[in-house]
Amino acid sequence: MEQPGNQNPPSAEISPADNYPPPPPYPPQPPYPLTFDVDYPDRQLNRLTSFFRFLWIIPIGIVAALIVSGGGGESYEWSWRASGGGGESWAWSWGAGGFLFLPLLLMILFRKKYPRWWFDWNLQLSRFLMRVAAYALLLRDEYPSTDEEQAVHLDFDYPDAQQLSRGLPIVKWLLAFPHWIVLCFLWIGAIVCVVIAWFAILFTGRYPRSLFDYVVGVNRWTLRVEAYAILLITDRYPPFTLEN
């Protein structure tokens, strides 16, 4: 008589799917083609200049306002230049807040080009304005330079115009509408953080790190949306995050 303990267990059935290796992991997403950061002060901030920051910023604020207003609004100027191939071309110097916008849109739409010197202008103007913004938001107490990088680091990649969509720049401002709504609320929070930080600097000489990171993050978010919808350097939709 066969003993129950001597019975062999039934063999497990092998599913056909077990013969295939697991799918490879998704490749990591490349970083967004814009980076922005501000060095956190490793010392106490100047209480006096922080207290009177609204006065101290007036001279450099006037310079920034003149640059910005001179490149947009009702400022239209036709200029002639020789193109690199020896032909003649007309450039319409119309901007959005000092940035070259309409010329870029037309160049991408009709020529699939992004002139390097237009890119350099937008980049350098963005860097200057962010130095002014960092000073106004009490993130740093060095007076903003018109040309030196200082402690404010902004960079974005020069785009390959052949990889940019022709028609997308026409509707990017509309596609970015969800970001504009979110940024309205984020900037309300940022203003509150700056007011709290102003009192903290007066009493302790320090900008609370959590508030500092939040204000920098809101600026970073704003810059990514501007790079997408205004500067037109990328067709990649901006992420909804404060981080780089």
Handedness of CA 13, 16, 21, 26 (dihedral sign): negative
Q: Which two tokens stand for residue 86?
A: 């020896």
Report pLDDT digits (tens) over 22-48: 767 767 778 899 999 999 999 999 999
The CA distance from 151 to 136, in Å, is 14
In the predicted model, what is the mean pLDDT of the chain? Answer: 84
Q: How far apart are the first and last CA of the chain?
A: 74
| pTM greater than 0.75 (yes/no) | yes
- The answer on pLDDT for 193 being more than 60 is yes
Closest CA to 154 of 179, 123, 183: 123
At position 28, the amino acid (one-letter code) is: P
Q: Residue 86 gets which letter from DSSP?
A: S
Query: What would the mean pLDDT of 142-155 be, rounded to a whole number?
Result: 95
